[in-house]
Amino acid sequence: MQLREVLDDLRLGRLTMRVTEPAMPAMFDRAGRRVFSGLVVMGALVSGSIMVASGERHETLGIVTLVIGGVLLFAHWMIDVTRGTKKT
């Protein structure tokens, strides 16, 4: 009887599954912060490299942008290392 109900729900498109995992929101939050930080650091490093390669006019600004990108990368890495992985 239960199998028939499940198959009927599946056939009619009413079958839903709910999974609760308490660690999921924290994992997605950390992954989102990593992606955002990676994009910001990558943008700083790429734009700084382009400015340095473009010539003397923007070379100083490019070097400053590269330094800022490097500092952000190092700071993000240090924060990640000091937090470590939490054991549940």
> Per residue in 43-73, pLDDT tens?
999 999 999 999 888 899 999 999 999 999 9
Count of structural domains within the chain: 1
Tell me, yes or no, if the pTM score tops 0.85.
no
| 84 occurs within a structural domain | yes
> Per residue in 4-41, pLDDT tens?
888 888 889 888 878 788 888 888 888 888 899 999 99
Residue 1 to residues 4, 10, 11, 63, 72: CA-CA distances in angstroms? 5, 14, 15, 71, 60
Q: What range defines the domain where residue 55 resides? A: 41-88
| 48 occurs within a structural domain | yes
| 26 occurs within a structural domain | no
| 36 occurs within a structural domain | no
